[in-house]
Structure 1
Amino acid sequence: MSSSEAPPPEAPIDAEPIKAVPVRHYGRWVAGVIILFLAFIVVRSVITNDALQWPVVGDYLFDDRILRGLQNTLILTVISMLIGIIGGILLAVMRLSPNPLTSGAAAIYIWLFRGTPLITQLIIWNFLGLAYSRIGLGIPFGPTFVSWDTNVLITQFTASLLGLGLNEAAYMAEIVRGGIQSVDDGQLEAASALGMNRTKTLRRIILPQAMRVIIPPTGNETISMLKTTSLVVAIGYFELMVAAQTIYSQNLKTVPLLIVAALWYLFMTSVLTLVQMQIEKRFSRGTSRGEATKNKWAGRMLGFRFGSGASGGGGKA
């Protein structure tokens, strides 16, 4: 055999099949059993506890006063969030302005409204007439063109909207600012090269891309706002918690009426959570995050991670 000839191929060696042994997570099983046992104890205690008076809960769940308070809560939530979102966008644009006066004014607003408790702001708005008996428009140190009696102009409803909406605008401003800054600077430079002005660039290019970052925390802020409306009890505006308090102060059924209010809050937050999921899914189309969170309602509702998706966003609640 000449040296140039290749050696014959070796016979293949039969490899032993791999025996894959799955890892047994005994700790998970133990934790699961413990959680199920504790859940059973809690559910059984809640169902069988006569002090909770479930028949009374059923009697007042759809009471006219409860439903009227629920309606006022929803109205406060919707209008306050509209004020907060619109004000937050304006404040975010001002905060990012190269004009130091505009940016500084927005920064002071955010500092003031985020730095003081919301319940304090509600009380201040409600009793603004003690500091300013009349509110009007005119020339400083000159004539006043039109004025109104403060106590007539600012009712409990108006004070609630001002307190909730203006406070929310400060938080939304930071959310919108973070969303705008998440867009690559090259987008702004490309728009400028095409001759687009700042307003058109913001409306057509920056904000649509920033929505993917803005939407999740905005949804959380809306859910938080729904629960925060209960603070208007401090100024006596009739909403869900005030309705429950009014009833149990008359019939002394405190625990059942609190359960009624809690059940309605849970129902409304669950609905808002599902709406938030759909909005997020719409703005996440075409991205890996959008595919990962598809049909992951349990991750949103329960706050756990399932598969490759995870529940998102955090808020001030």
Structure 2
Amino acid sequence: MIGIIEVYGSMLLRALGQTLLLTLLSLLFAMVIGMIFGLMNVGHNRVLNLIGTIYVDAVRGVPLIVLAYFIYFGVPAGMQGLGFASFRLNALQAGTAALSMNCGAYMAEIIRAGIESVDRGQMEAARSLGLSYSSSMALVVIPQAVRTMIPSIINQFIITLKDTSILSIIGFPELTNVGKTIVGNTLKSLQTWAIVGVMYMVVIVTLSKVAKRIERRVNRGR
């Protein structure tokens, strides 16, 4: 095991960095997607409600591995069929898109639940002061909802971090994919996957502790 760390330690650390980069990019885009569709689902426009519901149900109903294959192989093939012969997506772009769409669907539900957890009287009070619906949502409701959403958002970050391992199937050089390469070079499966597992565990346990601490602070602040 020590020999693997000495020879492949830098490669594993780079792969961990790639995993964290993919997770952060995906969570950033997922927040935008989640906010858009979450607001659609809490609004009073039935058309927007329907669009938001269809997106959330459709994306959550498709396995991430299928979504990754669709974006990495299917979308370029479709674009080339439309005449865009040079259209390509690299593994980072396709992986970020797949994770963002998948995570965004769950973020939409987190945001919807967070907004609905705020007492309706807050919106009514803001509207009675002359604020528009959008201003009331942005200035009054969402800031209160964020306090409720933060622990769930961190938990979703952890889930997304673990889901990056699925993207080894499209060749993205994240931690699991590099682990496969090391096993192929050394034939030391037990030691390699033990190292990879510990690296995942250290990051995820750290994030879990942060989530619990934030949740305790939020609960004390109420």
- TM-score, normalised relative to structure 1: 0.66
The match for 1:183 is 118
Aligned counterpart in structure 2 of residue 196 of structure 1, from 106, 120, 131 = 131
| Residues 1:135 and 1:219: Cα distance change in structure 2 (over 3 Å) | farther
Task: For residue 57 of structure 1, report the CA deviation from its aligned partner.
Answer: 5.4
> What stretches of structure 1 of length at least 5 have no aligned partner?
1-53, 137-146, 288-317
The aligned runs of 1:42-61 (5 Å cut-off) are 54-56=1-3, 58-59=5-6
Q: Is 1:150–2:90 an aligned residue pair?
A: no
The match for 1:217 is 152
Letter of the aligned partner of 1:222 in structure 2?
F
Q: Is 1:104–2:41 an aligned residue pair?
A: no
SS in 2 for 1:177: helix
- Higher-Rg structure is 1
| Residues 1:284 and 1:134: Cα distance change in structure 2 (over 3 Å) | farther
The match for 1:226 is 161
| 8 Å Cα contact 1:135-1:149 kept in structure 2 | no
Q: What is the RMSD of the two structures over their aligned residues, measured on CA atoms?
A: 1.9
Structure richer in helix, relative to its length: 2
Letter of the aligned partner of 2:197 in structure 1?
A
- Deviation digits for residues 59-112 of structure 1 (CA, Å, limit 9, x no counterpart): 35x612111111100001111111111211111101122222212111111111
Distance across 1 between alignment mates of 2:9 and 2:221: 46
Task: For residue 247 of structure 1, report the CA deviation from its aligned partner.
Answer: 1.1
| 8 Å Cα contact 2:79-2:85 kept in structure 1 | no
Distance across 1 between alignment mates of 2:82 and 2:135: 36
Task: For residue 195 of structure 1, report the CA deviation from its aligned partner.
Answer: 0.6
The match for 1:206 is 141
| 8 Å Cα contact 1:180-1:210 kept in structure 2 | yes
Letter of the aligned partner of 1:117 in structure 2?
P
The match for 2:26 is 80
Aligned counterpart in structure 1 of residue 191 of structure 2, from 253, 256, 275 = 256
| Residues 1:224 and 1:107: Cα distance change in structure 2 (over 3 Å) | same
Task: For residue 284 of structure 1, report the CA deviation from its aligned partner.
Answer: 3.1
The match for 1:235 is 170
The match for 2:78 is 131
Distance across 1 between alignment mates of 2:136 and 2:190: 54
- TM-score, normalised relative to structure 2: 0.92
The match for 1:69 is 15
The match for 1:50 is none
Letter of the aligned partner of 1:88 in structure 2?
G
- Deviation digits for residues 13-60 of structure 1 (CA, Å, limit 9, x no counterpart): xxxxxxxxxxxxxxxxxxxxxxxxxxxxxxxxxxxxxxxxx4345535
Task: For residue 226 of structure 1, report the CA deviation from its aligned partner.
Answer: 0.9
The match for 1:93 is 39
Pairs aligned (count):
221
Distance across 2 between alignment mates of 1:66 and 1:230: 14
Distance across 2 between alignment mates of 1:180 and 1:233: 35
Q: Is 1:165–2:89 an aligned residue pair?
A: no
